[in-house]
A and B are shown apart, each in its own frame.
Chain A
Amino acid sequence: MPASDSMAPPVVEVRSLTKRFQGFTAVDNISFDIKKGEILGLLGPNGAGKTTTIHMLLGLITPTVGSIHMFGLDLAKHREAILQQVNFSSTYISMPFSLTVEENLKVIARLYGLKNIQQRINDIVKKLEMEEIRHKLTRKLSSGQMSRLTLAKALMTEPKVLFLDEPTASLDPDIVNKIKSFLKEYQRSEGLSILYTSHNMREMEEMSDRIIFLQRGKIVAEGTAPEIIQRYGQRDLEEVFLKLAREPNGP
């Protein structure tokens, strides 16, 4: 059940976004919107350009061509104002190992200029069931605990847009289930817009209101999961994924 408002202007507008690295095109002329309260799934095989796209949306990689607007502002010109309202989490990032979980959250809270820091930390620690690890050194966290920490650092800043790059990769099913439930609930209650990548097709179907399929940097399919499945005449999203990913020159 999409929580997005179809009449509202998009909070993220990406137009003709392209990234070339020395003769290799990682992202090739893609355009898409994310509406308020919408979860957009970004799907594609390894090297399809998903992570590069997220890095461009976070201002960590400069696009070769194209524009990114969030909240009606151009990211190239209003980086600070935009990033104040955006956050991200990924299995592939880490946080300073020599700091405790709580210290890391305090640093992030100060970076984003949050008020009532201790209260916010208490809230997020409780919501993500992190009480037992809040005074633990980050280097001693398991991968599941680290995922919860990066998610906590992202959600604590109360972003309006959240980028999640394979947030559940390499986690056990119990933690995946808890994280997914928490994210869905949080997204509905806060009207959060999310860009979500995952290699887990079932998770993608469950989580996303709409899906964009990327291959070799290009958008090759777009729509809701049932629309895409129907369009390609397959039984589920996994079969669509295999069909699209194995086509040598794209569909």
Chain B
Amino acid sequence: MSLGRILALLSRHMYLYKRSFARLLEIFYWPFLDLVVWGFITIYLERVGMSLHGAVSFFLGALILWDVLFRAQQGIAVSFLEEMWARNLMNLFASPLTVGEYLVATMTMSVLKVTAVGSLMMLFAWVFYSYDILQMGLSLVPFILNLVISGWIIGVLTTSIIMRFGQQAEVLAWGMVFLFQPISCVFYPIEVLPPVLQSIAWMVPPAHIFEGMRAVLTTGDLPVTHLLWATGLNFGFLVIIVAWFYHTFNICKDRGMLVRVGE
């Protein structure tokens, strides 16, 4: 694993972000709009006197954490799309760059993206709604780390599908994560799901994370069981999905699809 090659790929994306208005919108504009809309919904719910304890914490906290997952996934999938649109995959994979280095670079890119988006959302929430997500204290750290890993898993899965099916699948870079939203129980407790979906949701790491976040907000205690489940499932899925990516990459090389992707 060459650090230099990983940094080379990162520098390529940094140059891009420096002057891409569309990419900057992803960091500032959409997260800000999300926060404005959900912030007003939260204020409305409080004014009509709905008996939802800590509505602000519930919705804004959930929204910020959901964006961590969403941007972590996008950091990987959109990075691949950038190479596809620029017809740059041949330049990359005909160089000494390895698949592992490519994945590490895109995962690092997703961490940078999450850090930028997360920091801005926390700041916006504090300035406009006096909501401080950091009141959750150190409990927040393992939750966020787990959400980033969940984002990587969905991002690598999305990338492997785009690589295999080409441009017709590129919409998944924005849509795939929403497939997991209902069973991740971002804005509601898991018990509202029908029993069948509850069983599926317990196998999804973000469901444990959002359930755990609500537990922290209501009881103030760190829900260790949820955290352990989320961590265990995340690492299991990460190993499987990285192996799946290597497998798909080899299939694409075998079928000559790597040189045609993006055409």
Interface residues of A (CB under 8 A from B): 19, 21-22, 26, 52, 55, 58-62, 79-81, 83-84, 86-88, 93-100, 103, 106-108, 110-113, 153
CB distance from A219 to the nearest CB of B (A): 20
Binary A-proximity of B99-125 (CB < 8 A = 1, otherwise 0): 000000000000000000000000000
Assess whether A60 is in contact with B92, with CB atoms less than 8 Å apart: no
CB distance from A173 to the nearest CB of B (A): 26
Chain A residue at smallest Cβ distance from B256: A61
- Which residues from B are CB-within-8-Å of A84? 96
Assess whether B86 is in contact with A96, with CB atoms less than 8 Å apart: yes
Q: In the bound complex, how far is the Cα of B253 from the Cα of A79, in angstroms?
A: 14
Quick one: which of A60, A81, A99 contacts B94, CB cutoff 8 A? A60
Also in contact, A60 and B95, with CB within 8 A (given A99-B16, A110-B5): no
Chain A residue at smallest Cβ distance from B253: A62
Assess whether B86 is in contact with A95, with CB atoms less than 8 Å apart: yes
Assess whether A99 is in contact with B15, with CB atoms less than 8 Å apart: yes
Assess whether B256 is in contact with A55, with CB atoms less than 8 Å apart: yes
Chain A residue at smallest Cβ distance from B263: A92
Assess whether A96 is in contact with B12, with CB atoms less than 8 Å apart: yes
Quick one: which of B7, B87, B90 contacts A110, CB cutoff 8 A? B7
- Which residues from A are CB-within-8-Å of B2? 113
- Which residues from A are CB-within-8-Å of B88? 94-96
- Which residues from B are CB-within-8-Å of A87? 94
Q: In the bound complex, how far is the Cα of B84 from the Cα of A97, in angstroms?
A: 12
Also in contact, A112 and B258, with CB within 8 A (given A93-B87, A96-B82, A103-B15): no
Assess whether A62 is in contact with B250, with CB atoms less than 8 Å apart: yes
- Judged by a CB distance under 8 angstroms, whether B254 is at the interface is yes
- Which residues from A are CB-within-8-Å of B4? 110, 113
CB distance from A41 to the nearest CB of B (A): 21
Q: In the bound complex, how far is the Cα of B256 from the Cα of A21, in angstroms?
A: 8
CB<8 Å pairs between A and B, sample of 17: A61-B256, A62-B253, A80-B98, A86-B94, A93-B90, A99-B15, A103-B15, A107-B8, A107-B9, A108-B91, A108-B95, A110-B4, A110-B8, A111-B96, A112-B95, A113-B2, A113-B96
Question: For B19, B256, B258, which residue has the most chain A Cβ atoms within 10 angstroms?
Answer: B256
Question: For B8, B82, B96, which residue has the most chain A Cβ atoms within 10 angstroms?
Answer: B96
In chain B between 51 and 83, which residues have their CB closer than 8 angstroms to a CB of chain A?
Answer: 82-83
Q: In the bound complex, how far is the Cα of B87 from the Cα of A20, in angstroms?
A: 24
- Which residues from B are CB-within-8-Å of A22? 255
Assess whether A94 is in contact with B98, with CB atoms less than 8 Å apart: no
- Judged by a CB distance under 8 angstroms, whether B161 is at the interface is no
- Which residues from B are CB-within-8-Å of A97? 86
- Judged by a CB distance under 8 angstroms, whether B219 is at the interface is no
Chain B residue at smallest Cβ distance from A94: B87
Quick one: which of B19, B253, B258 contacts A98, CB cutoff 8 A? B19
- Which residues from A are CB-within-8-Å of B254? 61-62
Chain B residue at smallest Cβ distance from A80: B96
CB distance from A117 to the nearest CB of B (A): 10
Closest 7 pairs (CB-CB, A-B) = A110-B8, A58-B94, A96-B86, A94-B87, A111-B8, A107-B12, A80-B96
Q: In the bound complex, how far is the Cα of B89 from the Cα of A247, in angstroms?
A: 37
CB distance from B16 to the nearest CB of A (A): 5
Question: For A58, A88, A99, A153, which residue has the most chain B Cβ atoms within 10 angstroms?
Answer: A99
Also in contact, A107 and B15, with CB within 8 A (given A60-B90, A95-B86): yes
- Which residues from A are CB-within-8-Å of B5? 110-111, 113
Chain B residue at smallest Cβ distance from A150: B91
Q: In the bound complex, how far is the Cα of B14 from the Cα of A110, in angstroms?
A: 14
- Judged by a CB distance under 8 angstroms, whether B181 is at the interface is no
Q: In the bound complex, how far is the Cα of B37 from the Cα of A106, in angstroms?
A: 42
- Judged by a CB distance under 8 angstroms, whether B97 is at the interface is yes
- Which residues from A are CB-within-8-Å of B15? 96, 98-100, 103, 107
Chain B residue at smallest Cβ distance from A82: B96
Question: For A26, A52, A55, A100, which residue has the most chain B Cβ atoms within 10 angstroms?
Answer: A55
